[in-house]
Amino acid sequence: MDRVPPEARSRMMAAVKGKDTKPEMVVRRALHAAGHRFRLHRGDLPGRPDLVLPRHRMAVFVHGCFWHGHHCRRGKRPSTNVDFWGPKLDRNVERDRAARAALEAAGWRVFTVWECSLAEGTAGLLNDLRTEPRQRST
């Protein structure tokens, strides 16, 4: 049973942002501080990645655990209104999978940073960029 009235729940869910989220800003600040330049939310790429590093031919997704079906405490599915949330979250996961496959097929490297492991994911991204040879932009 939901402890929040439907009107309040609706306002709460409407306030959830899709761009410029706190986790995304953490990753952006770290990349910028490390000297990397990137583009935001490129609509011409599958899945509209949160960050795109053209010189490295890398697309970065910063995923919220709940919305993208991560298998952690934060990714727990609601026990109320299951008929709505189940298919909705399943579609998100499938859309993510299809976007990743399309990007990889087009020659892009894809990196996902999860909200629950933001520090580790950001460090892993920076390490990956440091160790991978840079590609020429076209």
Q: Are 54 and 31 in contact (CB under 8 A)?
A: no
Q: Say what the pLDDT of residue 138 is.
A: 47
Q: Say what the pLDDT of residue 134 is.
A: 57
User: Is 109 within a domain?
Assistant: yes
Name the residue range of residue 73's domain.
18-38+60-128
User: Is 100 within a domain?
Assistant: yes
User: Is 23 within a domain?
Assistant: yes
User: Is 5 within a domain?
Assistant: no
Overall domain count for the chain: 1
User: Is 83 within a domain?
Assistant: yes
- Residue partners of 29: CB distance under 8 A and separation at least 6: none
Tens place of pLDDT per residue across the chain (138 aa) = 678 888 887 888 788 777 889 999 999 999 999 999 999 999 999 999 999 999 999 999 999 999 999 999 999 998 888 998 899 999 999 999 999 999 999 999 999 999 999 999 999 999 999 987 655 554
User: Is 2 within a domain?
Assistant: no
CATH code (residue 69): 3.40.960.10
User: Is 22 within a domain?
Assistant: yes
For 6, the enclosing helix (H) or strand (E) is helix 6-14
Give Cα 18 to chain centroid, integer Å.
Answer: 10
Give Cα 32 to chain centroid, integer Å.
Answer: 18
- Residue partners of 40: CB distance under 8 A and separation at least 6: 19, 28, 50, 51, 52
- Residue partners of 12: CB distance under 8 A and separation at least 6: 4
Give me the phi and psi of 53, to 5 degrees please.
-105, 90
